[in-house]
Structure formats: C-alpha cells, structure tokens
Structure 1
Amino acid sequence: MSFGDLNRVNTNVQSMNSQFSLNKINRDLSNNQLRMSTGLRINRAEDDAAGYSIAAKLSSRIEGLDRAMQNVGDAKSVLDIAETGIDKMMDLLIEMKGKATQAANGTLGETERGFIADQISALAAEINEISEQSIFQDISLFGGTDGENTGALELTFQVGERSSDTLTVELTALNVSNLFAGAGAIDGIDAVPAAGAAEMGSLVFDTFDGDTFNAFIDVVDAAINTLAETVNEIGISQSKLSIREETLSTAITANSSARSRIQDADFAKEQSQSIRLQILQQTATAALAQANAGPQAVLSFIR
C-alpha cells in the first residue's frame, strides 16, 4: 500500500487508503450483521460455493425425510383404524360363537334357538357396520378392491426419500359375505351371498335345530381365523413402520447436524468479530479524518 507524499495535495493517497480500508471494514461488518440476523454462515453462494451446494442437497434430503416421517405416521394411523375395526369384529365373532354353541345344545327348544338366531343375525349386521365405518380419508379399509366389498385393498406407503422406499399392505375385504361364505352350504341358513359377491351379505336362519348351529360353529371358527391372519399381517406391518420411524428420525437428526455444521453461524465467533470490526471502523474513520486534514498543512508553506 502506498502512503504517498504529504507535500502533494492533488492526490491524497492517505485518504484513498483510509477510504479503502473503511469500505472493506463496513462491508465485513454488514456481512457479519447478516450472519447474526439470519443465524447462517452461508447466506449466498458467494459466501462458500461448495458449502452452499452441499447444504442445499442436505436440505433437500431432510425435506424428503420429514415428509416420509409424516407418511409413516399416516400409515400407522391407517393400520390402527384397521386393527381397531378387526378387534371389534373379533369380539362380535367370539360372542357369536358362544351363542351358536349355546343354541347347539339339545336342551333348548326351537323357540329359544329362534331368539338366539336373531341375536346372531344382529351381530352379523354389526360386523358389516364396522366394516363400513372403518374409513381413512374416504378410503374404505375393508371395502376390498375399488370399494366393491370383494378382493383386497392394496395400499402402498412412501416411507422414505427414495422411490424404492415403499411399504405395501393388503387389507382383505371383511364383511358377512366373505367371513361367512361357508354358511351358505349349511341347511337352515340362507341369504348369504357367495364369497366374492359385491353385497356385504347377511345371515338368515330358516330352521332352528341343533345341527344347524353345530355346523355354524365351524364357520365362525373359520371367520375368526381369517381375522387373526389379517391382524397378524397388520401387526407385522406396524412393526416395520415403527422400525422405519426410528431410522428416519436418526437420519433426520444426522443430516440436520451435518447441515448445521456447514451452514449455521457460530454466534460466539460472530459476536467477537462484530466487536473487532466496530473498533476497526472507529479507528479507520479517525484515520480517514486525519488523512483528509493532512493537505491543510501545505497551507503553512504559502503563508
């Protein structure tokens, strides 16, 4: 840096040097205040081009992981609703088996069995009601393929940031038509559509003898097994989702920490830098004032 000749007034090199220093200090102080106000060390690509690029990629990944975490929560909600519905159906089937066992006993007459048959039919109707009420965001969980009450509903959940990070769950259509398909072959029971029919079905007893109810016990047991298998698959999927949730949480924390180290400002360092720059600003301002006053000394030569 040139200090110039104090005896020359046309070009004040000292003033120019002081202005250059003061401008640089003001610029550094402005950047320092920006970092402190935003909390970011990198606010523009020019601050750190490589760091800016890495931080952007990390932000993109974190956003994907956050969304995946929400998707996992939605998936768990879906399965919780399905499990709750199955639990209620299971309670009804257990009660239904108890009544069928009671009606199969030879000590009861036709009238008593008729009353029990009505109760069993009412319980079957409740199963259909539960099936219809098991809904998540307008999706009928037990409505089968396309809500036609047959087949199985296939749900694919995006549980990661990559396109391959998916979990597929199949929920079989659960209603009287499917759960009690075998009842149609029992003498004394009709109005049960065959498995695969679009109707949800109903149970109607035409005769009230012990053999009818005895045979119906096996049908109820088969329905209980169907629910048990379905809830087992749900439990496996819930376990997978819980593991995925933990994995995502760890990944979000790790990536957020990495981004913070690259992008976030060190406030202790920035505060110290701010104090240093403010002092330099004051000294540079004083130096500029002194440099601007220097040429006045030349007047003494011509007095």
Structure 2
Amino acid sequence: MKGIQHQLDLAFGENAVTVSRKAIDAGEQNLVLTANTRGAALKVFDGGATETGASKLFGGNLTASVSASVSNTSKAGTDAIHNTLDTNTKLTDLTDVDGNKLGLTAGNVINISGTQNGNAFSASITVKDNSSVSDIMNAMRNLDAFKGATVALDASNGKFVVKGANGQDKDISNLNFNAQKSSTDTTAVASFNKMFGGFTETQKAQDASSDNSLSMQIGANQGQTLAVDINDMGTKALRIQDVDVSTAKGAQSAISVINNAIESVSAERSKLGAYQNRLEHTINNLGTSSENLTASESRIRDVDMAKEMMEFQKNNILSQAAQAMLAQANQQPQGVLQLLR
C-alpha cells in the first residue's frame, strides 16, 4: 500500500490520488483509488471490467499504470494499439491494449491516402495471412510523396515515425489509414479504423529534425542552424485543469500540483530566454556582416571607377593622337597646293 501510494504521489502530486482497501467478501478485498483534485486519472478495478482513460493512438505513454498485489490491475485506455507492436507483427494479430483484436483478416484492403504540396496521393495493400506492419511501411515508402523520407516504427512505443528528407520541399498533410472488407466490399473494418482512421501526420517543408523542433538557419555555412522547440504549457499539459481549491483539503492537495506547474513554466521561460539571446546575438552578427559587406562593395565600386577612369584617359589620349596625326596628314596636300599656285 505504501509503495503504491508513493508511486501515485510521484506521478500526480502529493495526496492528489489516494489508495485504500475495501472488503467485498470474506478473504477478498478491492483497492480503491480516489482522485482528490484532478479527476479520475486512473482506477484499479476488477479484471473483467473495462475503463476508458487517457491514451495515445498507438498506446504509448499512457496516463498511469499501477499493479496491485491482489487480483486487480489498473488499465488505461481501450482505444490504443498494444505497445508491443513491431515491424514483424502480423496485421491479423493487431490488438488494442486490452487484447481485443482490431478485426483485420486475409482479404481486407488497407487504403493509405493524403496530400503532398496540395496534390492527393494514395496507395492500398491487400491483407494476407502473413502480412505484417512492415507491409504498411513499405507501401508508404513506395509513394513519391515519401521518396527520400524516413518511414520507421519506434518499437518502444509502437508509433510510426515519418521524417522528411533534408532540404526537400515536401509538405505532407492528412495522412490517413482506412481498412475495408475487400477490394469490392467497402464495408469498414470498424476496430482498425477506430485506431488508425484518426491518425494524421503533417510534415512541413523543412529539414528533418530528430526532436520535432523548428530548425532555423542562423549562419552562412552548412550546419549553422538553431533548433527551437516550445513545449505545451496548457492547463492539461501542466495537469492543473482539474485543480479544486473550494475546500481546504483540495487546496492543500493542489499546492504541489501548482508548484510543479510553476516550475515547468519557469523552465520553459528560461529556455525561451536563451533562444531570444541567441537570436539577438545572431541579429547583431548579421548586422555587422551586412556593414562589412556594404564596405567591401563600396571598395569594389571605387576600384571599378578608377579602372574606368584609366580606360577613359587612355581612349582620350588615343583620340587626341589620332586627331593630331590626321591634322598632320591634311597639311601635306595643302603644301603641294601652295607650290602649284
């Protein structure tokens, strides 16, 4: 009990969720988790019960996971794919986190669609008995929209990862997966589409980034970039959306939650301040470089002007010499005419 309470305090803040025992029959007990300030973030319940909790598309990073020493085990989310997914997992064996199959069978057709730079693209694969997750990935790789991009699967959390190729101008949006019974039967495979149908991916036209940050070019040379990322500072991300200070107990329990939120915001502000300092320093450097470039251009123009003046003087001298020689040549016929007179 103390160990479970300690883990709950670490995950949700001190006394935000409390654990207790409740006798139901002789020799049997249930563990009861009570959410004091933040709503029912998780529950421990009988193995046959179902509970919808916080989840992600492929089942990674669920809100919480606690195992009790009795028969009850906590679960979070029936709308998530099992997080042991890997590239060799057969499509017909795909299950959610509760072990329920997604309903794919041989003969089903999975359609992949989306847009790239405003142009629609699509592909489809027919599910076979030995089809695996890698077949979906290969179908994506064969699309022109993903040429040069990285399509991979993070086995640690069962997520597809799509990263654009460096320097390629490709804006991919509305990436969508949809399964139907067969090539002629458009009846939806409901369980699969429930997991995959809402999955969308947008790849902006910029170089790939390992941490999903914005990459900014801050120098003249290759590799002189600055990665900028801003974490979600909303009430849900800070876990303060359900804080209740209407009672003394609730206010006391909310102190640690609010304190953690303040620390998170302060850390994010410090990070943004560092970005600002770096960008201001870059702006100053660029200003100096611009002045130096202007001065260099002025010197070049001065040199060009001197060269043109020399060329002008040369042409002027040649012109005057030509005129003098022409005048001298004209004087000879005049001398002959004078003799004839």
Higher strand share: 2
Q: Which protein is bigger by CA-based radius of gyration?
A: 1
Higher helix share: 1
**Fold shared per TM-score above 0.5:** no
Give the TM-score range, shorter chain.
0.3 to 0.5
TM-score by length of 2: 0.32
